[in-house]
Amino acid sequence: MPVDFHSHLSDPYSIVCTDDATVPSSGLVRCAGLLPGKWTRQRQEKLIRVLEADSDLQMGEVGLDKRFTDTLPLSEQAEILSHLLNEAKRLQRSVCLHCVRATGPMLDILRSSCLRPFSVLWHGFSGSVETASELGKLGVIISVGTTFKGNLKELYKADPALVPETDYTGEDPKQHSIILEQRYSYFSQALGMSSNDLEAHCKDILWRFSRQR
C-alpha cells in the first residue's frame, strides 16, 4: 500500500500530523505539532508534555510561516522553532517541517540544528533545485504535494530523499486514497520509476524517518 508522507486524516498508511499540539488518534506514523498561526506558550508546553508521555509520537508539523508575522514576528518564530528542534533532538524524535515564504531562515536553522540524517521531513516543498540540493546534503527528506509545478526529476537528482504527499485535510478515506494513488502515478511517470520501485523507495525513506529498526 502506498505511504502518504503528510496527511491530516488519521489514516493507517499515512504520516499524520497536527498543528495545534493535539495527538492524532491513529496513523502509520503519528506526529503532534504546533504552527505559528496557533502558537501560544501553553500549547508549546502541552506539545512537549505529550511527546514526553508517548515515545512513539514524533514532532510535526512545526515551522516558519511569513503569513503570521503580524502576530508572531519571524524572528520569534525562528527562536520557537529552534527550541522545538532542540526538544526533538533531546527526545530523539523525527520532525515534520512547515515552511511558507521563509526558506532562508529555515535553512539557517537546519544548518545549526545538527539533527540526525533523515529525521527531518520538509513537507509541501515548493522550492528550487538548489535548495533541494542543500537539503539533500543536510539529510533532509522533502515531500511534494499536488501544488508543486517544478521539474520532479531534477528535484530527485538534487535530493534523492524525495517522496509524495497529499496534505489531505478532508474526512473521506476513499477520496484520500484516490488522491494518493494519483500522486504515486504522477511520481512514477515523472521519475521513470516502476510503481514497485517507487513504493520500495518510499518504504525505505519511511523506515529512516520513523526510526524503525
Domain range annotation of the chain:
4-210
Q: Which residue has the cell 486514497?
A: 177
Nearest CA among 16, 1, 20, 5 for reference residue 57 = 16
> pTM to 2 decimals?
0.96
- pLDDT, mean of residues 16-20: 97
Determine the topology of domain 4-210 in CATH. Answer: TIM Barrel (3.20.20)
Alpha-carbon span 203 to 98, nearest angstrom: 22
pLDDT-based confidence at residue 213 (cuts at 50, 70, 90): very low
Gyration radius from the chain CA atoms? 16
- Bridge-based pairing state of the strands 58-65 and 29-34: parallel
pLDDT for res 74: 98
Residue 149 binned pLDDT confidence (cut-offs 50, 70, 90): confident
